[in-house]
Structure formats: C-alpha cells, structure tokens
Chain A
C-alpha cells in the first residue's frame, strides 16, 4: 500500500522568495509525525500544497499514492484537515457545517447523524450544536475545525497548528484526541512550533527552516542527535568561581554558567550515564545540591541548535 504522504523535490517560490526549497519526505502509515519549524519556515506552505490550496513550483506530493495536483478530489478523499484556524460560514451551526462537509463527501444521512453527534461530543461542542458559528470564539472554531476533520473517519489527518487559539485545557483535549487517533492506527501529520506538544504526542518528527528540511527521524533518534542537554543545578549557597570552574571541568560537562541565586545551568554532552556521573561527583564533592532538573527536552535543544545554525 502506498504511503499516506510522500513528497519528492517539493518546492514553492513566490517571485524571487523561496518558501519551500526541494522537500523530500515520506510518512509511513500509522505514524504520528510532527512537522517542526519556526514561523515562516515553510510548514504551512507544505501543508497547503498537500491539501491543494496552493500549487507547487516544483516537485510532487502524493497522498496514498495519488498526486494531489493531478487528482485532488481522489487524493483528499481519505484525508481530514485542519489548516490554520479556518473560518466557517457564520450563518451555519456546527451541525450544519458538519452536514455540509459530510454531504460533499457523500456520507449517508444515518452515518452523518451518528458521526456528527459523536464528533461534537469529542470536541465538546454538543451544547453548541444548534448555535450559529458567527457567535463562536476562536477556540470554539478550532474545536469545530478538529471535529469536521474527524467527521468521515479519515485514514490520514493533516493538522496545521491544531492547538492554535485554544486555552491550556483545550490544548490538552486536542492532544488527547490526537493520541486516541494514534491509538486507532491513523496516520497523523501535525505541524507545530510547540515542541512539548510534539514530544508528547508524536512518534517521529522533521525539522524545517527557511524552506529546507534540516532533520528527520523518530523522536528517540532525534534526541540522541542533540549535541548537549541542559540542566539546572540549584545549590544551598551560591558557588564561587573555583567551584564553577571545577564543575565545568567534570567529564561530560560542556559548559556551566551561573544563573544567580545559587543556580547554575549545566550543558552536558551525553545521555543519562553522564547525568548520573555528574550528579554523583557534585554530591561527593560536598557542594550542597538541592535540585538537578532538565531545562527543556532534548528535542528542544536540538531544535534551538539547528535553528541557530540556519540563522547564522
């Protein structure tokens, strides 16, 4: 069976500006794939090409082996999408919005009624089912967007910043929905600049910046590629220069910087073994360590390193 998403040499220019270089990407079935990058990196451009909203300048994008540009209706049949925060026709209610999408997709009346009820429950809009969308907040529209994407039980979900505009509770709920879809074996392609979100829900990720793919792999593979991992070490009393220099000289320590108030930021090169060794050395030295906690995740470290490199 063809891969849910396969992209080859995909690029998009706007005049002399290259929004997307020549992207090669393939997403295996059943993967929850995070598509990372800062604003303007080319994430939305990729997603808009995949969903036939814009045309590529070069290359090819296929969904389940079907060329999106040549046969868009066939390519998008098994796909559910949330692109940015879509607007809905204000004069319709969520039930009518779902009915519109469902009818266009050829869903039967019975299936439509059952699925509408189910997805409205999932996105917690049951109480608003008959209210006009024009009265909805951005977060409610985002929930509806997620709901309409799930309506036809798609095999592939393409989500562009799906938690954008949601409050923390709404964000957590959308993440839970994505996790449950993942458990059902659906393929999810999700763009985000929230690294914690990607770490929480995705199996694999790609990092893009300035229209170029920088990295791609499973989250474990990417974490191993992180050059260093940052930790905060808190002490009962502030360290003097000699003590700081001693920590800097410990095996596996790339750098140590005083953050004030007895807190230093230590960057380590290596995995958990190095962490254990450094902690053990500090404790044995007699320095009164009160806390040792990671600053961000390995993915964050990698992200920042890569983005800094492309910004140079």
Chain B
C-alpha cells in the first residue's frame, strides 16, 4: 500500500510526466491524429456522396473501428519509454538519488500514462457521441460501453508497455516492440490459435473485439464460417490481468534494475 507521502510524490511525478507529453508535443501529435481520423470519418461520406449511418450504434461503430489503433498509439507514445528512458538518457542520476521510492516513480508515471491515454480516447468518443447525436438525434448505452471497453483496452496496452519499458534497455526497442506486439505479433498469434481451433480469448487484440462488437448487430459474421466472438466479461478480465501483471512486473523490474550506464 502507498503511504500518503508516496502518493504525494507519485502525483508530482505524474504532473512532470504530463508536462513531458505537452512539451515534447506527443499529446499534440495524438490530438492532430485524432482530428485527422475524425475529419476523415465525418468528411468522407458526404464527399463520396453517401449518407451517414442512421443509428447511433452504427454511426459510432465507424469510430470504434479505429479505437483499438488509437489505444495502441497511446500506449506507444505515453508509456513505452516511460521507464527505460531514465536509464538510457541518464536522467535517473537526477531522479533516483532523491528520497523517492522506485515504486512511487512507476506509479506516478503509470498515472500520467493512463490519464493522457484516457483523455485521448474520451475525447474521441466524446466527439463521436456529439456527432452521432447531431446526425441520428439519439445515443445508446452501447456507445458508453464501447468507450468503457476502449479505456480498459488502453489500460492493458499501457500495462504491457510498462513491462517492456522496464526490461528493455533502449527507448526505441521498447517503442517499436510495443507497437508491433499490438499491431502484428498478437494478431498473428491470435490467428494461429484460431486456426488451431483454440479460441484466442486471452490475446488482447482479439479480446479487444468487444469495443466494436457491442455496437454491431449480432450474427453479422459470414454464414457457415467459424468466428471468434469475445465475451465482454472475459475480455475485461483479460485486460485487467494484462494491466495488473504488467504493472506489477514493471514495478519489480524497475526496482531491481541498477543504474550502471
């Protein structure tokens, strides 16, 4: 458990991490990407002469299709270099001799990563909801559930990114591996498991199907083909598992890691 002093220090670490996102323009970069995605989703249909979906679920469903990618990019930009950069860039020589526990530093950085990632996704869903309300004149609870699932998924990505950041030496390696793990490696493993007739419920990228599925009409898969449909409860448990285990391992590894460079 964190004592009051640890929590106070964690908040300070988090505040300076957020300042890093702002000054290094990572947050700005994500906001620009967000604006591009939203602009394309809202701008392309009228430009191509087609109409918007008529139901709120179908309308936000288009947005939800990109939520997983946004979550991965958030993990890459806000979490992947959080721990290893203190070693690689030697800033640990300034930070670590202060009377602050390494666990507190990890918690502070984790708080900042989650806050930035959640802000991006909430903003994304916020714009999607407002647009859905304007176009379809209605909203559904499913939109809120999809947003909640997206937040859970991004937490899972952040947990895994922290784990990688705590064990890898370089920021580039941590960043690249986090990105490819969630865009390629997990997808390939999930597909191979599925071919081997094993449901990939424990693979985060497959479990993340719940973000879009909640907004789709049931039974929309190709007829006659076996399809993996993740269960929301199980997927949330998987996300929580990856986040908790990732964070705990990251904390232990960061605490054990010596500053030798």
Complex CA distance for A103 and B90, rounded to whole angstroms: 21
Q: Which of B9, B12, B20, B259 contacts A53 (CB 8 A)?
A: B259
Closest to B90 in A: A87
Asked if B97 CB lies within 8 Å of chain A CBs, one says yes
Complex CA distance for A89 and B24, rounded to whole angstroms: 11
Chain A residues, Cβ within 8 Å of B180: none
Q: Which of A37-94 contact B (CB under 8 A)?
A: 48, 51-55, 72-74, 76-77, 79, 81, 83-84, 86-89, 91-92
Asked if A128 CB lies within 8 Å of chain B CBs, one says no
Chain B residues, Cβ within 8 Å of A96: 19
Q: Which of B1-39 contact A (CB under 8 A)?
A: 5, 8-9, 12-13, 16, 19-20, 23-24
Contact A104 B91 (CB under 8 A): no
Q: Which of B23, B98, B99 contacts A91 (CB 8 A)?
A: B23
Give chain A nearest CB distance to B96 CB in angstroms.
6
Complex CA distance for A52 and B5, rounded to whole angstroms: 19
Chain B residues, Cβ within 8 Å of A87: 89-91, 93-94
The answer to whether A76 and B19 touch (CB under 8 A), given A54-B258, A86-B93, is no
Complex CA distance for A298 and B258, rounded to whole angstroms: 38
Closest to B108 in A: A104
Complex CA distance for A86 and B97, rounded to whole angstroms: 11
Complex CA distance for A88 and B89, rounded to whole angstroms: 9
Complex CA distance for A100 and B8, rounded to whole angstroms: 12
Complex CA distance for A104 and B105, rounded to whole angstroms: 10
Closest to A51 in B: B97
Chain B 121-161 per-residue mask, 1 if CB under 8 angstroms from chain A, else 0:
00000000000000000000000000000000000000000
Contact B101 A48 (CB under 8 A): no
Contact A100 B93 (CB under 8 A): no
Chain A residues, Cβ within 8 Å of B9: 104
Contact B16 A89 (CB under 8 A): yes
Q: Which of A104-141 contact B (CB under 8 A)?
A: 104-106
Asked if A148 CB lies within 8 Å of chain B CBs, one says yes
Complex CA distance for A48 and B96, rounded to whole angstroms: 10
Contact A89 B20 (CB under 8 A): yes
Contact A55 B258 (CB under 8 A): yes
The answer to whether A54 and B90 touch (CB under 8 A), given A89-B20, A91-B19, is no
Chain A residues, Cβ within 8 Å of B98: 76, 101, 104-105
Complex CA distance for A77 and B97, rounded to whole angstroms: 9
Give chain B nearest CB distance to A71 CB in angstroms.
10
Q: Which of B59-101 contact A (CB under 8 A)?
A: 89-94, 96-101
Contact B90 A104 (CB under 8 A): no
Contact B90 A86 (CB under 8 A): yes
Chain B residues, Cβ within 8 Å of A89: 16, 20, 91, 94
Complex CA distance for A52 and B89, rounded to whole angstroms: 18
Complex CA distance for A91 and B18, rounded to whole angstroms: 11
Contact B99 A76 (CB under 8 A): yes
Q: Which of A55, A72, A103 contacts B12 (CB 8 A)?
A: A103
Complex CA distance for A107 and B90, rounded to whole angstroms: 25
Closest to A132 in B: B23
Chain A residues, Cβ within 8 Å of B89: 87
Contact A53 B99 (CB under 8 A): no
Chain B residues, Cβ within 8 Å of A55: 258
Asked if B226 CB lies within 8 Å of chain A CBs, one says no
Asked if A97 CB lies within 8 Å of chain B CBs, one says yes
Complex CA distance for A83 and B99, rounded to whole angstroms: 15
Asked if B197 CB lies within 8 Å of chain A CBs, one says no
Asked if A145 CB lies within 8 Å of chain B CBs, one says yes
Give chain B nearest CB distance to A179 CB in angstroms.
23
Chain B residues, Cβ within 8 Å of A106: 5, 8
Chain A residues, Cβ within 8 Å of B93: 53, 83-84, 86-87
Chain B residues, Cβ within 8 Å of A145: 94
Complex CA distance for A243 and B153, rounded to whole angstroms: 89
Complex CA distance for A103 and B93, rounded to whole angstroms: 17
Give chain A nearest CB distance to B95 CB in angstroms.
8
Closest to B21 in A: A91
Q: Which 9 A-B pairs have the closest CB atoms?
A: A86-B93, A91-B23, A73-B99, A54-B258, A53-B259, A87-B90, A81-B97, A51-B97, A86-B94
Enumerate 19 A-B pairs (CB-CB under 8 Å) in ascending A order: A48-B258, A51-B97, A52-B96, A53-B97, A53-B258, A73-B101, A83-B93, A87-B90, A87-B93, A91-B20, A92-B19, A92-B23, A97-B94, A100-B16, A101-B94, A101-B98, A104-B99, A104-B100, A106-B8
- List 16 additional A-B contacts (Cβ < 8 Å) besides A53-B97, A86-B91, A87-B94: A48-B260, A54-B259, A72-B99, A76-B99, A77-B99, A79-B97, A86-B93, A87-B93, A88-B91, A89-B91, A91-B19, A91-B24, A92-B19, A97-B94, A104-B9, A104-B100
Chain A interface (Cβ within 8 Å of chain B)?
48, 51-55, 72-74, 76-77, 79, 81, 83-84, 86-89, 91-92, 96-97, 100-101, 103-106, 145, 148
Chain B interface (Cβ within 8 Å of chain A)?
5, 8-9, 12-13, 16, 19-20, 23-24, 89-94, 96-101, 258-260
